[in-house]
Amino acid sequence: MTPSSTLTEPPARTAGGSAAARAARRRALLNWVAVHALAIAAALFFLLPFVFVFLTSVMNDQQALTTDYWPASWNWGNYGKVWDTPGFLTWWRNTLVYAGAGTLLTVLSSLPVAYALAKFRFRGRNLALMAVIAMMMLPPQVTVIPMYLFWAKQMGLGGSLWPLIIPTAFGDAFSIFLLRQFLLTIPKEYLEAARIDGCGDLRTLLRVVLPMAKPAIAAVALFQFFYCWNDYFGPQIYASDNHEAWTLSYGLESFKAAHHTNWNLTMAATLLVMAPVIVLFFFAQKAFIEGVTLTGVKG
């Protein structure tokens, strides 16, 4: 290598470097544009259904049957009409009772079980865990016939939501599994420290574990609430005979049938059923996302 070439090299490298930097910046910009264009396209796919449902929900009866998608007039009264539909408030109340009681009982009954499965060492723990997973994966239809006969014929609870609420007091496989996954991450030093301080098992669970497990409990509670809110099969089996015991999910479908030509009212009702879960999500976004992640990723 001659001295001259060493002398000419640094400027050349700088020039080439800035050209490369410019190229890199251009590539980064193009990449940014491509990614965001794709994201916007995807966002349209996820958002447009909501937009069309909303626009139709404020149309008048005639326009809702046309291919004209911008409301000619904004009939906010449609929501009032849906709200005043006979039964709608009852369905609302039933759903809240089912989801509220179901959520509370599920958390109360699943937490000690999850704690035992995560932190106690006992014979048959693996077997118990496999049974939890098997129950989690069991389609509800597999056991529905004997369960229906038991609740409706033997216990006389047909036409009510009790057959759906009572079992939540005996642990829910999915909640137990999710809580256990979380409790495994609590270092056992905390539990030992509590024991040395003279805490019994129950006190350790309530005073030490419960505060630490709040995010997981919130996630489980949300999942259970959504499950009950969305449940269609359960109310269809147990409550369909009794109009007074219908839930929103079951009622919405019959609402569509009763108003079979009124897409505007049906869409208003649909949004009214969706709204609470979406509002709840915005308040508890973090807990919910953490819960989803916990089920899938943290084996």
Q: List binders of another protein among 134-193 (CB under 8 A).
A: 134-135, 137-150, 153, 167, 169-171, 176, 184, 188
* Burial label, 79 (beta-carbon count in 10 A; 0-12, 13-18, 19+): middle
Contacts of another protein in 43-82 (CB under 8 A): 43, 45-50, 52-53, 56, 65-67, 69
Q: Per the structure block, which two tokens stand in for 233?
A: 């099969």
Task: Output the DSSP codes for 20-68.
Answer: HHHHHHHHHHHHHHHHHHHHHHHHHHHHHHHHHHHHHHTS-TTGGGSS-
Please tell me whether residue 196 binds another protein under the rule CB under 8 A.
no
As a whole number of Å, the end-to-end CA separation of the chain is 58
Please tell me whether residue 86 binds another protein under the rule CB under 8 A.
no
Contacts of another protein in 108-137 (CB under 8 A): 109-110, 112-113, 115-126, 128-135, 137
Please tell me whether residue 245 binds another protein under the rule CB under 8 A.
no
Query: Closest approach of Cβ 46 to another protein, in Å?
Result: 5
Query: Closest approach of Cβ 198 to another protein, in Å?
Result: 16
Quick check: 235 and 247 in contact, CB under 8 A? yes
Shorter beta-carbon distance to another protein: residue 125 or 214 = 125
Among 159, 199, 218, 226, binds another protein (CB under 8 A): 226
Taking CA atoms, 12 is separated from 1, 5, 271, in Å, by: 16, 10, 64
Contacts of another protein in 250-269 (CB under 8 A): 250, 252-254, 256-258, 260, 263, 266-267
Query: Closest approach of Cβ 186 to another protein, in Å?
Result: 9
Q: Per the structure block, which two tokens stand in for 62?
A: 């005639």
